[in-house]
Amino acid sequence: MSLRGLRGLSQKQLKDVALLCGGVAVLLFAAVFISQVPVDGTPLASNLSQSQAAATALGDSQGIPSGYTGSTYTADPTCWVNWSYASYGPNWGPLCPTIGNSNFGSGTSPDQDTFSSGVFSVDLGSGRGQSVNTTRTVTATYDQSAAVIASCSKNGCFYSCPSGYALHTGSKGATPTCSKTIAGSMAAPVSNAVGSQVYVYPSQTVTFEWSCLPSRTVYAEYKSGGGWLSVAQWYSVFVYSYGLASSVTGSGTGFTPSGLYGTQSVTAPSTTGTYNYSLTCNGGTNAMTIPVIVSPAPAVTITGNGSNPFTAVPGQAVSIVGTFTAGVGDTLVQTALNDYQNNALPGVAWTPPTNKSYTFTPATTGSYIFYPAVQTSKFPGWNNYNKSLTVNVVAQCPNGSGPTGSCTACNSGYVIQGTAPSNSCVPQCPNGTGPAGSCLTCNSGFVPSGGNCVAQCVHGTGADGNCATCDNGFVLTNGYCVVPPPPSIVSQLTATPAHVRTGSSTSLSWTTVSMTSCTVKNDSGTTLSTASTSPGLLSGPLTHKTTFTLSCTDGTTIYTSTVTVPLVPLIQEI
């Protein structure tokens, strides 16, 4: 059976074959080669895309912080070398990354294991980041002075080695040798590694990620059995182990790492300049440094019809304008206007990198959000720098134009009452300015009264029907200013004849001016007349001395006049 046939056997089958065949151990090693990781100081862009960096990914066996979404690559604390790369062996894992297919420990040159012992990165979000890593190299050598023990028969030769030595068969047909692993020697850490610089704007949140390899242990696989073509069980043998990082230290504004792997978000300095952030895996690496340059962020604005936020009505055209200005020493690369899902608005090209505009005409009410976006040479990731525009589309103002609550003009007969965003169009004050019921000024011939404009008092001040004062020559009568009546005149009540005989009558006379009512009564209270004037009223037969009274009024004053008519004494001759 060929060695390739081993791939088709289970572990139990391999063990059964080994028990049947017995024999000496054939030690088969696969060479350990330089790990496929970038050299010191080289950004990990090729396999990490500089996205969210990957400092925490020195192998899942170290654990990955909760929520970590960055790329990963393997540099395991424990690994195996075998012939799996040549389709041999049980493929124990994880395998030590190798290049080529040489057997471990063969040849005149020592075998070397080079691996990443520390990674330090910065995650700027939006697909931007930077990483730097350091490597360590272990060189393993062997004592090959032990003689091979051979046992041959008609079935072939079986080979073994003294205790503590491993059998190395070499290529097919070659004379086997015995080798003994001597602890590998680890080279000093490489010089300080410096990554490419990254740009951030003042006070930007920056996330650092790191991972340090705590130790490195390597095993090699070997197969026990007789002969080159014999089938036997595969085993592993310890090659070497080295302790690496035991703790971490860091430097840089606000950066205080703790633990062999982790993440920490810091606030970048508010002052422009270059700031170095470094991390050292104590015992495993020298410092890994990423220069962080704080540079002025692009100035970005966005407005709708010159305002932000802006309130519109359905059907109203809104001119959305975004302005972009690169910071000192920076240049614009692309600019854009995006919708609420950060999708580019139709017809707004990213290049050339100039100010952008877009006309938005809403069909229905609602809130619409727009974002500016910019890329610059220093800040290549799309970013809106926390700028946005909200266009609130509401129903149109009743009896006017503009949005409800923010009326801009009113229809004829209506005026704006209140201030935005709580104004409205209300009926205009009749015969004046301002809202009805809250007139501000009145037209000529009208005066304010109870919030309205009413006709002015004729020949006076105040409202008509409620005059406050009257002009000269007019008097206030029942709320109006009127021409005063002439002076009230009441003539003396007279009786002709002034004396009468018993049973005779007398004639009463009087005249008045501006009287509203008059009465003439005798002394018994009987009303003889209500006329305001009389040239002669007969009193009727008088039987005793009688007094007559004239009473008149002009509405405010009562005027009286009396006359007494005595009887002529009866004379009887004797």
Q: Check whether residue 255 and residue 272 sit in a common domain.
A: yes
Give the domain range for residue 171.
3-290
Q: Check whether residue 27 and residue 119 sit in a common domain.
A: yes
Pairwise CA distance, residues 561 & 565, whole Å: 14
Domain boundary among 290, 323, 345: 290
- SS3 label, residue 83: coil
Pairwise CA distance, residues 285 & 189, whole Å: 5
Those residues whose C-beta lies under 8 Å from the C-beta of residue 108, and which sit 6 or more positions away, are none
Residue 120 forms part of a structural domain: yes
Q: What does the buried/exposed string (b/e) look like for 296-334 if buried means 16 or more CB atoms within 10 Å of the residue's CB?
A: ebbebebbbbeebebbbbeebebebbbbbebbeebebbb
Residue 406 forms part of a structural domain: no
Q: Check whether residue 246 and residue 328 sit in a common domain.
A: no
**pLDDT score recorded for residue 557:** 84
Pairwise CA distance, residues 389 & 552, whole Å: 87
Q: Check whether residue 156 and residue 218 sit in a common domain.
A: yes
> For 98, phi and psi rounded to 5 degrees?
-135, 165
Instruction: Count structural domains, the chain.
Output: 4
Does position 380 have pLDDT exceeding 50, yes or no?
yes
Residue 79 forms part of a structural domain: yes
Pairwise CA distance, residues 189 & 115, whole Å: 11
Does position 145 have pLDDT exceeding 70, yes or no?
no
Q: Check whether residue 76 and residue 130 sit in a common domain.
A: yes
pLDDT tens digit sequence for 508-532: 999 888 888 999 999 999 999 999 8
Residue 25 forms part of a structural domain: yes
Q: Check whether residue 214 and residue 332 sit in a common domain.
A: no
Q: Check whether residue 10 and residue 42 sit in a common domain.
A: yes
CATH code, 351? 2.60.40.10
Q: Check whether residue 345 and residue 439 sit in a common domain.
A: no
**pLDDT score recorded for residue 444:** 92
Residue 422 forms part of a structural domain: no
**pLDDT score recorded for residue 43:** 27
Q: Check whether residue 244 and residue 311 sit in a common domain.
A: no
Average pLDDT over residues 217-226: 62
Does position 335 have pLDDT exceeding 90, yes or no?
yes
Q: Check whether residue 471 and residue 329 sit in a common domain.
A: no
Q: Check whether residue 256 and residue 160 sit in a common domain.
A: yes
The pTM score is: 0.54
Does position 465 have pLDDT exceeding 80, yes or no?
yes
Q: Check whether residue 169 and residue 210 sit in a common domain.
A: yes
Residue 464 forms part of a structural domain: yes
**pLDDT score recorded for residue 389:** 97
